[in-house]
């Protein structure tokens, strides 16, 4: 694993230590988007860059399908989990993967890619407009001629957000490997003026009644609507060539809850 050239990064403790492990327990089995990205990569052969690759949930299936994939992430713990998962892969798969630790808003890898992916809500980690524009700018600088920048994200459900604002919820699950009990105490606070969600979490691990581990974090995520993301893309020199509801290639309607934007840089004279 290499460290990408980048500016200073802001740590997000939701992706450190116990939280990195817990994230994988909650989200590691999510695979609804994988067929979509495998089809996209098959139709656009070439190297792939995934922004916010985490522990390799999407990166590894792409590499296993024969694609050369570089993943960048700001969390050393998530990248370590990705490296551990790679140990279970064949040598040809491992050879197709490069991992870079770096800031998604300011990085330089010194090479270009056919596809740059900001998949599965990655842009929601851009909590300021400057961060959103910087991520898009970095992605553009790493696209080869004819390359595509792909963004997918969930749309905010304002009604549910208003109902949940400030309310504490408690979830209990069983650790899939250790059989211990994990208790997640969760609260989301919403700043609708700045479109930022602050997530407060306390994770406790119990064996019977004995507390084994505990960790707390507060992390911020943005929420965006399609028109403002499209405007940001245009301001950074992209045109949106396709807009789909989720991974089903459907059109946006009032009930849409997720969106995929397929984008290309606009060159002078176009």
**Are residues 57 and 81 part of one domain?**
yes
**Are residues 107 and 35 part of one domain?**
yes
**Are residues 101 and 10 part of one domain?**
yes
Kindly report whether the global pTM for this prediction surpasses the value 0.85.
yes
**Are residues 179 and 87 part of one domain?**
no
**Are residues 188 and 72 part of one domain?**
no
Domain assignment present for residue 270? The answer is: no
Position 14 confidence tier, pLDDT thresholds 50, 70, 90: low
pLDDT of 20 strictly over 80? no
Domain assignment present for residue 83? The answer is: yes
Which residues on neighbouring strands pair with residue 259, listed in sequence order? 153, 245
Question: What total of structural domains would you count in the chain?
Answer: 2
- Provide mean pLDDT across the span 262-267: 93
Q: What torsion do the CA atoms of 50, 54, 58, 59 make, to the nearest 10 degrees?
A: 60
- Provide mean pLDDT across the span 159-179: 91
pLDDT tens digits along 188-211 = 999 999 999 999 989 899 999 999
pLDDT of 72 strictly over 70? yes
**Are residues 122 and 252 part of one domain?**
yes
pLDDT of 25 strictly over 80? no
**Are residues 67 and 12 part of one domain?**
yes
Contact 215, 17 (CB under 8 A): yes
Position 133 confidence tier, pLDDT thresholds 50, 70, 90: very high
Q: What is the pLDDT of residue 11?
A: 41
Domain assignment present for residue 45? The answer is: yes
Domain assignment present for residue 40? The answer is: yes
**Are residues 94 and 123 part of one domain?**
yes
Instruction: Characterize 24-42 residue by residue with b for buried, 16 or more Cβ atoms within 10 angstroms of its Cβ, and e for exposed.
Output: bbeebeeeebbebbbebbe
Tell whether the torsion through CA atoms of 113, 91, 33 and 158 is positive or negative: negative
**Are residues 258 and 145 part of one domain?**
yes
**Are residues 162 and 150 part of one domain?**
no
Looking up residue 162, the CATH number of its domain turns out to be 2.20.25
Measured CA to CA, the distance from residue 10 to residue 32 in angstroms comes to 30
pLDDT of 268 strictly over 90? no
pLDDT tens digits along 223-258 = 999 999 999 999 999 999 999 886 666 565 555 678
Q: What is the pLDDT of residue 2?
A: 55
Looking up residue 257, the CATH number of its domain turns out to be 3.40.50.150
**Are residues 142 and 37 part of one domain?**
yes
**Are residues 97 and 20 part of one domain?**
yes
Q: What is the pLDDT of residue 156?
A: 92
Determine the structural domain holding residue 178 and report its residue range: 158-222
- Provide mean pLDDT across the span 134-160: 95
């Amino acid at each position: 694993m290499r460290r990408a050239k980048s500016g200073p990064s802001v740590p997000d403790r939701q992706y450190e230590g116990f939280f990195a492990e817990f994230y994988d327990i909650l989200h590691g089995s999510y695979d609804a988007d994988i067929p979509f990205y495998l089809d996209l990569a098959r139709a656009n052969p070439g190297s792939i860059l995934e922004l916010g690759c985490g522990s390799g949930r999407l990166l590894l299936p792409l590499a296993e399908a024969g694609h050369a994939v570089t993943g960048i992430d700001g969390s050393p713990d998530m990248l370590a989990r990705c490296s551990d998962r790679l140990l279970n892969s064949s040598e040809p798969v491992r050879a197709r993967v490069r991992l870079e630790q770096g800031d998604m808003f300011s990085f330089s890898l010194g090479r270009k890619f056919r596809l740059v992916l900001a998949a599965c809500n990655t842009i929601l980690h851009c909590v300021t407009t400057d961060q959103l524009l910087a991520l898009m700018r970095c992605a553009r600088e790493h696209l080869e001629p004819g390359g595509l920048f792909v963004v997918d994200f969930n749309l905010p459900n304002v009604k549910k957000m208003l109902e949940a604002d400030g309310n504490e919820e408690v979830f209990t699950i069983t650790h899939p490997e250790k059989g211990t009990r994990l208790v997640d105490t969760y609260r989301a606070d919403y700043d609708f003026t700045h479109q930022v969600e602050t997530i407060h979490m306390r994770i406790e691990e119990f064996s019977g009644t004995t507390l084994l581990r505990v960790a707390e974090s507060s992390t911020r995520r943005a929420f965006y609507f399609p028109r403002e993301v499209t405007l940001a893309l245009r301001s950074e020199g992209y045109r949106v060539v396709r807009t789909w509801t989720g991974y089903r290639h459907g059109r946006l309607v009032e009930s849409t809850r997720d969106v995929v934007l397929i984008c290309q840089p606009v060159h002078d004279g176009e």
